[in-house]
Structure 1
Amino acid sequence: MSEAADIQASDDAPGLAARPAREFFGHPVGLFTLSTTELWERFSYYGMRAILFYFLTDTLANDGLALDDATGAALVAVYGSAVYLVTVVGGWMADRVMGARRAVLAGGVVIAAGHVSLAVPAHWTAYLGIVLVALGTGLLKPNVSSMVGELYRRDDPRRDSAFSIFYMGINIGSFSAPFVVQIAREIGGYHAGFAVAAVGMGLALVAFVLGRGALHGAGDTVPNPLTPADRPRVVRMALLIALALAAATGLAWVVARAGSQDAGVLDVVIDALSYLAFAAPVVMFLVMFRSPRVNAAERSRLTAYIPLFVAAMLFWMIFEQASNTLSQYARDHTDTNVLGFTISPVLYQSVNPASIIVLAPVFAWLWVRLGDRPSTAVKFAIGLTLAALSFVFLAVASAVAGDGRSPWWVLVVVYVVQTLGELCLSPVGLAATTLLAPLAFRGQAMALWFLAPAAGQAITAQLITATDGMSRTSFFGGIGLVTLVVAGVMFALAPWVTRRIREGAETDEEIAARH
């Protein structure tokens, strides 16, 4: 998922009073600390993700895990889904238990342990590493960017440029990681590549720990600490989560056994996590709709948010396939000869962050020039349309290639078109979420937004396993055409959604919540 959603989320977070501090290019030195931390954390995350599918599906002789392509792709998808599910818990832990700074530090340590586990040449440590990276990222991801907001007052004119600098660091890390990790992989195999990711996370931790003084207490405060009176509710919540995990696992086992006697533990895990990712947003919507603290007007606006959520979910379903089905297409169906040079399929993972670096300033200028046009709902529809068209284009390219390979530039076009869609949808996503969420659930709006990519990647995991053996033209074309129909519905619903957003912005409660 794009980090633009995280940046927007942080910008909506309440800032603390500005702290006296030395400055770095007109900004607090703490911004340099957090930007450096996130640059290296994203380097480690995207470096690991760039080679994960290839590692899972390569032969044992090449130090891979020898999974079939469908299982490997589904596992990568559900891993991404799990990351976003855990961010809900990570945000809660920071708000109620440990504060953002300790959450980031703990998450970084767990991520580093995960990359080290992946660097060890053993099967069980590889699976342990995937679990640890997912857990650690879920703890770190929602909290590091929120600390940027704490360095500035709400009315500080430097806030927007601060998040732009922070965002640039993220994309530098994301862009460079596949190149460095691929070099390490060519020299020492997959485990060397994962070791590079571990070093990247280690550098992130060093930057974060050494730069603590520059943060001047940002992230140290627990915004809403647990009290003794909260303990029974927390225990009930923990029991409900455990029950949900058990129910999802049980259902996944029954379904797996009914579908195939050869179903293994990995199939059950993939299905169980998918069910949880599907169920989480449904439960959250139901809780909001049924809450006595939500009035009729808020329920009306919440209803208007559902099409936006569905659009976001389907967008991320397509966009996040960069690490699974598109990685497979790059390896098996793309001519990697570029102007006489042979490039690794891994390097396609750098196209999106490179496109973001080039195009994000253009879009920022464009939205300022256009003001409120197009509306949020139309931006969502445009973003979803572009994602759908990228898959339709890939399906056509695949059909043209037949049994051969598509030219190298086909996937570049796919990634650039998806990036254009991302810049239409992602930066405005959380703003719409916080605006349309009921006032009593405003603090949980970020969790709801993160459940969209979680559910989207869960859909991907199920589609991959359900369509195993289908031609790539049918797979990409089918997804693209269905999504294009949904985008058309989104365009039709846009005026209705826009009216609800404007009504939400005009209430006194909403205005008070935004200032």
Structure 2
Amino acid sequence: MSNSSENFFETKVMGHPAGLFVLFFTEMWERFSYYGMRAILVIFLTGALVGDNPGWDWDKPAALSLLGTYAMFVYLTPIVGGWLADNKIGYRMAVVIGALLMTLGHASMAIETPTFLYIGISLLILGNGFFKPNMTSIISKMYEGHDEKKDGAYNIFYMGVNAGAFLGIMLCGWLGENVGWSYGFGLAGIFMFLGMVQFYYAQPLFGDVGAKPKNEKKGIIDTLSEDLESSKEKISGKLNHFITIDYLLIGVFIISALIFIVNDPLSKIGNINTLNFTVAGMTDSLFFALLAAILFILILIVRIPRYERVVRDRMIAFTIFCIFTIFFWAAFEQAAGSLPIYTRDFTDRVLEGNAASIFKIIDAIVTVVPIGIITYVLISLFRQTFSRIGFSNIVLAISFVIIWALVIYKLYINFSAEAKEVEITWFAILNSLFIIVFAPLFTKWWDSKYNPPASVKYGLGLIIMAIGFGLLAFATRNVPLGAETAKLSMIWLVLAYLFHTLGELCLSPMGLSYLSKLVPARMVAFMFGVYYLAIAIGNKMAHYVGGDIEKITKEDGLSYFFLIFTVVPIGLGLLSFALHPLLKRLMHGVR
């Protein structure tokens, strides 16, 4: 155990090193900026060209294609950023570089021109690649020799993730919809910048943890592998070296995937068809998407059987879970694309009289209470660290002064108006709110003797999420074909987000957990990439299908659109249940 790691525990806040809470707030501001920007992007792009707060009037397929490509790269670039941090620049410098790039990205988007939009999104993708993988790596290093504290540390850290998402969606969404889209994009950049400065000037707390690597080649994957080895059986056996057919398949897969990723938004946004051909009625984009999917499966089919039996079986089990993961995120991520469009166009969001008063009170409570709790954490951090990182604390204090000022102004405006039109983005905060409420209950469930096996968790996650879409399908059953607007009750959206969140809590934490249990340490890097690729594919698929909401509504009805995301996950959930005996054998005793 390094002295620097041990020194962390000399300055404690709520039983954990003060450095953990620096990371908590840094991650909170990054999630604030990410979710805040994402909450308003599609609404802004597809909004009418005229009005009090005009948008760009993009077609829905174009807007969601851009969002899908952005979301896909968000899960792919961390693989590169993690390698650079491991081998070249260190975790802390990677976080600072990532935060700076994302700050510039949000600033570019606030200019509101197409050129700066694309520059901004490119900078956000690059910045995310540097930032995302390295925060958890610093925590892992910080807790070396204190494994009993790690679970609690990650729980605190992920509370910061959800707090940031909650605040970002609420404030960027409110400003974007009520004041101007540039203000929403700009606010995301302001807090990303303040988070970067706060983290940079808190460096004295970290010693040499996360600093630039010296001669030793020990990085994220090595650290992860060490963490995992303590929780799984060690498996010996010969290495499965990559051979010519592996490299050939991977090369063609990468080329096919890149053609699809680039061509899809180009064709839908700029009507630029780089290849401009059809195969069996499929566009060039769809053809290369299917080709990439087939090659992805072929790579696994070719490589996995060459492992020894136990390793092979466990990797097959994990691959099956990855396939379920793709379809889960393809449905769940409608929350960023088609659901905001549904909220804007098909939900009655105007409240009057007692209904408006009750909503204002509820909104005030769910706004003030979480911020009050986070402010208490902030004060606790100040008490322990002000003498060592005073400037960092001051920057953090300024951030919260701005937050409280915005919240008070928002509540003042809300309570001053007799009627209330609920913001489109307000519903998106329900996911973070429900996670904060229900996550402790799920943690107790998983820690009890009633902890279900993996296949049941995946099945429950898919089916419970599907219930949320089923409620929306039921709510929209009487919306006429081709209808562009309707006035449906808000309760359907609230219930949908509730079931989506409960499904997420069943399935989402399972991926990395089963990666740690099923995959030998020497193959963590490869399967880590496969898992992130699965989430990336799910995100792109979500917005590729979601972009057709208008077309499907005209041809088959809005209810049919939501039925797609009801029937498919339910079918896959039942399949997961049915596969339990097979998966149990393949996992060879891993629970």
Shorter-chain TM-score: what band?
0.7 to 0.9
Partner of 1:331: 344
Partner of 2:300: 285
Cα distance in 1 between the residues matched to 2:105 and 2:211 = 25
Q: Do residues 478 (structure 1) and 564 (structure 2) align?
A: yes
- CA deviation after TM superposition for structure 1 residue 274, in Å: 5.9
> Is contact 1:114–1:129 with CA below 8 Å preserved after alignment?
yes
- CA deviation after TM superposition for structure 1 residue 342, in Å: 1.6
- CA deviation after TM superposition for structure 1 residue 66, in Å: 2.5
> Is contact 2:68–2:544 with CA below 8 Å preserved after alignment?
no
The counterpart of 1:454, out of the listed 530, 536, 540, is: 536
Mapping of 1:85-124 within 5 angstroms?
A: 85-124=76-115
> Is contact 1:352–1:419 with CA below 8 Å preserved after alignment?
yes
Mapping of 1:36-435 within 5 angstroms?
A: 36-61=25-50, 62=53, 64-186=55-177, 188-220=179-211, 222=213, 224=217, 247-248=256-257, 250=259, 263-264=271-272, 278=293, 282=297, 285=300, 288-289=303-304, 294-338=307-351, 339-340=355-356, 341-370=420-449, 373-400=451-478, 402=480, 404-435=486-517
- Of 246-255 and 149-158, deviating more is 246-255
Cα distance in 2 between the residues matched to 1:213 and 1:70 = 48
- CA deviation after TM superposition for structure 1 residue 91, in Å: 2.2
Paired residues in the alignment total: 479
- CA deviation after TM superposition for structure 1 residue 162, in Å: 1.5
- CA deviation after TM superposition for structure 1 residue 501, in Å: 2.4
Cα distance in 2 between the residues matched to 1:253 and 1:196 = 29
Cα distance in 2 between the residues matched to 1:337 and 1:429 = 40
Mapping of 1:461-500 within 5 angstroms?
A: 461-465=543-547, 468-471=550-553, 472-500=558-586
What do residues 284-337 of structure 1 show as CA deviations (whole Å, max 9, x unaligned)?
6357426x6x32321122112222111111111111111101111111111113
- Which residue identity is paired with 2:153? A
Q: Does the C-alpha gap of structure 1 residues 133 and 270 become closer, same or farther in structure 2, counting only changes over 3 Å?
A: farther
Cα distance in 2 between the residues matched to 1:126 and 1:253 = 16
- CA deviation after TM superposition for structure 1 residue 46, in Å: 0.6
- CA deviation after TM superposition for structure 1 residue 398, in Å: 1.1
Give the SS at the match of 1:153.
Answer: coil
Q: Does the C-alpha gap of structure 1 residues 83 and 273 become closer, same or farther in structure 2, counting only changes over 3 Å?
A: farther
> Is contact 1:273–1:458 with CA below 8 Å preserved after alignment?
no
Unaligned 5+ runs, structure 2: 220-241, 277-283, 357-419
Q: Does the C-alpha gap of structure 1 residues 29 and 270 become closer, same or farther in structure 2, counting only changes over 3 Å?
A: farther
Q: Do residues 19 (structure 1) and 10 (structure 2) align?
A: no
Give the SS at the match of 2:148.
Answer: coil
Question: How many percent of aligned residue pairs carry the same amino acid?
Answer: 31
What do residues 79-126 of structure 1 show as CA deviations (whole Å, max 9, x unaligned)?
211211212222222223322222212111111111010011321001
Q: Does the C-alpha gap of structure 1 residues 266 and 119 become closer, same or farther in structure 2, counting only changes over 3 Å?
A: farther
> Is contact 1:280–1:451 with CA below 8 Å preserved after alignment?
no
Cα distance in 2 between the residues matched to 1:15 and 1:395 = 58
What do residues 250-270 of structure 1 show as CA deviations (whole Å, max 9, x unaligned)?
56789999x999833699998
Cα distance in 1 between the residues matched to 2:13 and 2:87 = 32
Q: Does the C-alpha gap of structure 1 residues 123 and 255 become closer, same or farther in structure 2, counting only changes over 3 Å?
A: closer
**Larger-gyration structure (1/2):** 2
TM-score normalised according to structure 2 size: 0.73
The counterpart of 1:437, out of the listed 509, 514, 519, is: 519
Q: Does the C-alpha gap of structure 1 residues 307 and 350 become closer, same or farther in structure 2, counting only changes over 3 Å?
A: same
Unaligned 5+ runs, structure 1: 1-13, 227-232, 506-515
CA RMSD in angstroms, aligned pairs only: 3.5
Q: Does the C-alpha gap of structure 1 residues 48 and 80 become closer, same or farther in structure 2, counting only changes over 3 Å?
A: same
- Of 56-65 and 170-179, deviating more is 56-65
- Which residue identity is paired with 2:32? F
Q: Does the C-alpha gap of structure 1 residues 225 and 370 become closer, same or farther in structure 2, counting only changes over 3 Å?
A: closer
- Of 416-425 and 68-77, deviating more is 68-77
What do residues 155-202 of structure 1 show as CA deviations (whole Å, max 9, x unaligned)?
443222211211111111111112211332245411111000001101
Q: Does the C-alpha gap of structure 1 residues 337 and 272 become closer, same or farther in structure 2, counting only changes over 3 Å?
A: farther
Cα distance in 2 between the residues matched to 1:272 and 1:90 = 30
- Of 356-365 and 57-66, deviating more is 57-66
What do residues 23-73 of structure 1 show as CA deviations (whole Å, max 9, x unaligned)?
222211110110010011100111001101011112444553321122212
Partner of 2:20: 31
What do residues 431-465 of structure 1 show as CA deviations (whole Å, max 9, x unaligned)?
11232224421234433322222111222233235
